[in-house]
Structure formats: C-alpha cells, structure tokens
Amino acid sequence: MTILIIGGTGNTGLPLAKLLHDAGISALLTSRSGVVPAPYKGVSLDWFNPATYNNPFNPEISPDGTPIDRIYIVGPMVLDPLPFVKPFIELAISKGVKRFVLISGSVTPKGAPFSGKVHQYLDETPGIDFIVLRATWFMENFEKHYLMMIKTENYITSGAGEGKVPFVSSVDIAQAAFDALLSDEPARRDIFVVGPELHTYDEVASLLSAAVGREITHKRLTPEEYKQLFSSFGMPDEYTVVFAAREKSASENCEVETFNAPDDKKYVGKLTELTYRTTMTILIVGGTGNTGLRLAKLLHDAGVSILLTSRSGVVPAPYKGVSLDWYNPTTYYNVFNPDATPDGTPIDRIYMVVPMVLDPMPFAKPFVDLAISKGVKKIVLLSGSGVSQGAPFTGKIHQYLDEKPGIDFVVLRPTWFIDNFGTLYLTTIKSRNHIFSGSEDGKIPFVSSKDIAQAAFDALTSNEPARRECFVVGPELLTYDEVASQLSATIGREITHKRLSPEEYKQVFTSFGMPDDYIVVFLEREKGASENSQVDVFNAPEEKKYVGKRTLKDYLQENAAIWQ
C-alpha cells in the first residue's frame, strides 16, 4: 500500500507524512515542483495543469513500487475546485484507489463553495470510501497570518466578536487524517476536527500577552472593515464575502455547536496551548541523550520551538544546538542568549538532565538560579524511582526545587530503563550470553526511554501549576529471570540471569571504573529491588505515576538485531 499526500509540504500534509513515515507506511508526497523534504519521496502535481495528474500513478514513482490505493486531498483554494479535482478523482478511481480523505472546513457543508463541492461529488460517486475532515480554525494562523500583526502592531483581528472557537492544531488534523487513511472500516461520511477547548479571540490575546510579556489586544472588525482588510491582501471580493460570512457565524457561536457535536461526529485533538506556536522555547539539557533526543522529536513534531544542549553545541539535524558544559559555568549563559533560540523567543521551560555525580548541586544550583532570573517558569528534572527528595544524585536538586518559591517543577522518577539491555548489558549478552543483577527475584517495571520522553513532553506542555514528583513506570512487572527468558526467545539462544552477591556486584562496577561511594548507592538500590521496592513504585496511586505503553517484548522485537 502507498498513500498519496496531495499538498505534501503543507500545514497538514507534512505532519501527516511524518506520522506515516514513523509507522513504516509507504507515502508519496506531491508539490507543484515535485521537490519535497528528505526523507520523503515527491512527485509533481499541479492542480492547474491536468497533464501532471498522471504523474503520481507512474509505478516507478512509488517509494516501494506498490500502487496508490488511498489519497489525502488538499484541493486548490478556489471557490469552485471541482473542475480541477473531479477529473483527478476519476483518474484515481480508474487506477484502483479505494479511499479518499479530503480536508475541508467546519463551516463548509456539503455543496458549499470551496471544498464543499468536492464533498458533494464524493458523496455522489458510488464504489469508493471517503472521509471529509471538517477542521475548525487552525492554531497555526497565529504564527502565520497574524505573525507580523502581533510582532509590529501588538494586536490580532477578527470579525468573530465574543464567539468561542475550538482552535485546532495541524498536528491533530494530521493525526485525524492518519486514522482515517489507515482504517479499513467502510466509510462514506464527514467528521468535524476540533481542538480540546473553546476560546474567544479576547482570550487568545490574553494568552499571547502572558506569553510574550507585553499587551496583545483583539481588534474587532465590522464586516466592512473585514472585507477591506482582506481586499488589501489582494483577495477577490467574492472570496471576502464568504470569509466574512464565516466570521459572522463564529460570532453567533456556530463553532460552539461544532465543538458540542456528538462524539461519533467529531475528532477532538490534544494540543491545547496556542502560545506554544509562537512564543515559547523549551530548553532540553542533555539534548542528545537517551531521553533528550526522543523528547526533542516529540516537541518538534508538535511544532514547539526547542533548543538542545550538548558539550560541543553540536546536535543532530533538524534541531538547533548550543554549548552547555556542567563543568564550565561560563557556558551556562549561552542558552539564554536570544540569538541562540530558533525563533528568538525566550526560554521559559527546561528539561534537565544533570551530571552523574553524587552531589550535583554545586553545578545545578547556579544554573537553576540563573534560569529563574531569566524568566524560566517550569523545570522538569529527570531523577530516578530510587532517588527520594534529599538523597544523593538528583535527590538534592529535587529538594532545592521544592524549597524555591515561584517556580513550577515536575521531578520525573523513572524506574529502570529497558534500554539498558541494549547498552549496559550489550557486551555480556553478545559475548557471554548472560545478564547480571543483584536484584534476585525482585520484580521491576522496566520502562522505555520513549515513554519517559512522553512523560516529559506532557509535563512540559501542561499549563497546570505543578510542584510535584511523578514515578514513571513500564506497563508490566518482570524479574531478571523473566527478562532473560524473553531475550532467549527473541534472539534464538539461551540467555541466563547471573545473580551477583554484593561483593561480586562491587567487583563488576569497580571494573567499569565506578568509584566506591557510587557503588554503595547502587548496591542499596539493587538490594531494595530484591525486596520488591519497585513493586511498591508500580503500585503507587494513579495520580503519583505515569504508566508507559512499551513492554519489554516491544523493545526486544524492535532491537533484536543488536544482540546477534
């Protein structure tokens, strides 16, 4: 199966391409030129040049040679797109396409101008499945259509009055499209796509004001003023009439009715904070590490401005990096240079991975103090399930954050990383066919670094006040014997669990170059695990923990080749 994305470089097309690529699904993207970003494959399709309509159906164009059988359509922005889209749909059906997903608008009913006419044609065409996504107003408009207005005039405009709108993110629209394209359920229907909350434009202006630190107002336009404004953009009169009518309907709360549609008639997105799109940069300290890089991908895919640190300042594309070395305090100021952030917006939230020393406070305290003085509002600290507040390592920073007024914080206390079986234990598995521990028969809810990254994403993007800790656990409890058994089944040879006495454990980690005082701390944690301390963590109250989705089996199957 290959999915064709028409408008593959657009607001919704590119996020959809990422979702399909990450799921391992063959996708072909169109643009007028045929040029699309790596790693995607592109083809030229120009709605105003019917000679290009055949291009996507050339078997040599498909990324893996499979025929196109599903299409995501973004039609041309004209009052009546049917003369362009109808012959393409007819061609696609003749080539075996089975399903179409059309992007439309919440206020564009079947038969109305723009995509409503294509909607009607699909409904009148037998033998195909289709889903029309009727999205409400895009959050991204505040970083595109309104960007210069916000930056230079300190206001946003609308003709919506006091009407409430469930602004939705293009990332959520892409997810709705992904679900619609991949479903094998027969479908001939439309569905609203809305954001998770209702806002007036006055409330949006208030959110923007709080984020940028200056007053942003909502300038209310009369229908005539609205028409004049869009005429000044070069929009034809017949277009401005349609858009003015939509603004008027929003002022009468038609979008509230959309938001309140029955659950089976709508898709509700997850992204809530309009301010993320234009006004916030999140700093990821340890941006190239196990959790940092995965967190960067989640934030980048959600359209959040991010800055990653590494000692050298070098980070993988497409991210922007800056040098921060915990052992060189002169580098602490680097990250707060306005020229360092991707779009010049200030850092107001930080994900922090600190140096692996018994007492990181001499390094972390001055950095935290500097961050607060620069306007940082929330810090998410990576700690450990066995590291209580005030304990060695990150427990001391946890305590310091708890003692600092005026700063929100979340301390993530994950249990033991599943990923250790591909790093710490890699050599012993490959060369000696065993894993080792001092945990005896203790059960542990091993957790994936991907799930820790998701917990960090949720903590960083939440606007709820927070001064708390949260355990991060995997979805199942396993002994090391059970891990060895699953490893054996996955890689096709016997892997055993070597149980270490405290003295043997000390010898192993001494051979790794670990100082004695570190080994004492780790021995205590192993002993605690043998007494099922991690079971207590797993059974913590729901509000005190984040439960990941990835099982050990998922991890082993994804990475089986590394132990061969």
72-131: pLDDT as tens digits: 999 998 889 999 999 999 999 999 999 999 999 999 999 998 999 999 999 999 999 999
**Higher pLDDT residue, 411 or 169?**
411
Contacts of 138 (CB under 8 A, 6+ apart): 11, 167, 168, 169, 170, 173
Per-residue pLDDT of 272-320, as tens digits, reads 654 444 457 899 999 999 999 999 998 887 778 899 999 999 999 999 9
> What is the chain's Cα-based Rg?
27
Q: What is the mean pLDDT of the chain?
A: 91
Q: Which of 53-57, 217-221, 371-375, 496-500 has the lowest mean pLDDT?
A: 371-375
Highest mean pLDDT of the ranges 43-52, 223-232, 522-531: 43-52
CB 132 within 8 A of CB 189: yes
Q: Is 80 exceeded by the pLDDT of residue 464?
A: no
Contacts of 498 (CB under 8 A, 6+ apart): 434, 435, 436, 437
Q: Is 60 exceeded by the pLDDT of residue 263?
A: yes
For 128, the token pair is: 């195909």
The mean per-residue pLDDT over the stretch 245-255 comes to 91
Per-residue pLDDT of 350-403, as tens digits, reads 999 999 888 999 999 999 999 998 889 899 999 999 999 999 899 999 999 999
**pLDDT at residue 276, as a whole number:** 45
Nearest partner of 523 among 513, 509, 534, judged by Cα: 509
Tell me the pTM: 0.58
Handedness of CA 359, 362, 363, 369 (dihedral sign): positive
**pLDDT at residue 275, as a whole number:** 45
**pLDDT at residue 407, as a whole number:** 86
Amino acid at position 48, single letter? F
**pLDDT at residue 278, as a whole number:** 46
| Domains of the chain, start order | 278-410 (3.40.50.720), 415-458+468-563 (3.90.25.10)
**pLDDT at residue 257, as a whole number:** 95
Phi-psi map region of 50: left, alpha, beta (phi>0 left; psi -120 to 50 alpha): alpha
CB 487 within 8 A of CB 428: no
**pLDDT at residue 547, as a whole number:** 96
**pLDDT at residue 211, as a whole number:** 66
**pLDDT at residue 152, as a whole number:** 82
For 389, the token pair is: 């507040």
CB 189 within 8 A of CB 131: yes
The mean per-residue pLDDT over the stretch 436-459 comes to 95
Quick one: 55 exposed, middle or buried, by C-beta within 10 A (0-12, 13-18, 19+)? middle
Per-residue pLDDT of 235-244, as tens digits, reads 788 888 888 8
Give the separation between CA 201 and CA 414, rounded to whole angstroms.
40
CB 8 within 8 A of CB 1: no
Q: Is 60 exceeded by the pLDDT of residue 215?
A: yes
| Per-residue 3-state assignment (H helix, E strand, C coil) for 391-459 | CCCCHHHHHHHHHCCCCEEEEEEECCEHHHHHCCCHHHHHHHCEEEECCCCCCECCECHHHHHHHHHHH
Note every long-range contact of 503-511, with CB atoms under 8 Å and residues 24 or more positions apart, other chains counting: 505/436, 505/438, 508/436
Highest mean pLDDT of the ranges 207-211, 277-281, 328-332, 509-513: 328-332
**pLDDT at residue 277, as a whole number:** 46
SS3 156: strand
pLDDT above 90: percentage of residues in the chain: 68
Q: Give the helix/strand (H/E) hosting 533.
A: helix 533-538
Per-residue pLDDT of 53-62, as tens digits, reads 999 999 888 8
**pLDDT at residue 515, as a whole number:** 81
Beta bridge partners, 267, equal 193
**pLDDT at residue 81, as a whole number:** 95
**Higher pLDDT residue, 205 or 140?**
205
**pLDDT at residue 398, as a whole number:** 97
Give the separation between CA 474 and CA 547, rounded to whole angstroms.
6
Nearest partner of 170 among 4, 19, 343, judged by Cα: 19
Handedness of CA 123, 124, 125, 128 (dihedral sign): positive
Q: What does 231-292 look like in DSSP terms, one character per residue?
A: HHTT--HHHHHHHHHHHHHHHTTHHHHHHTS-GGGEEE-----GGGGTS-EEEEETTTSTTH
Nearest partner of 375 among 338, 342, 400, 412, judged by Cα: 338
Q: Is 80 exceeded by the pLDDT of residue 148?
A: no
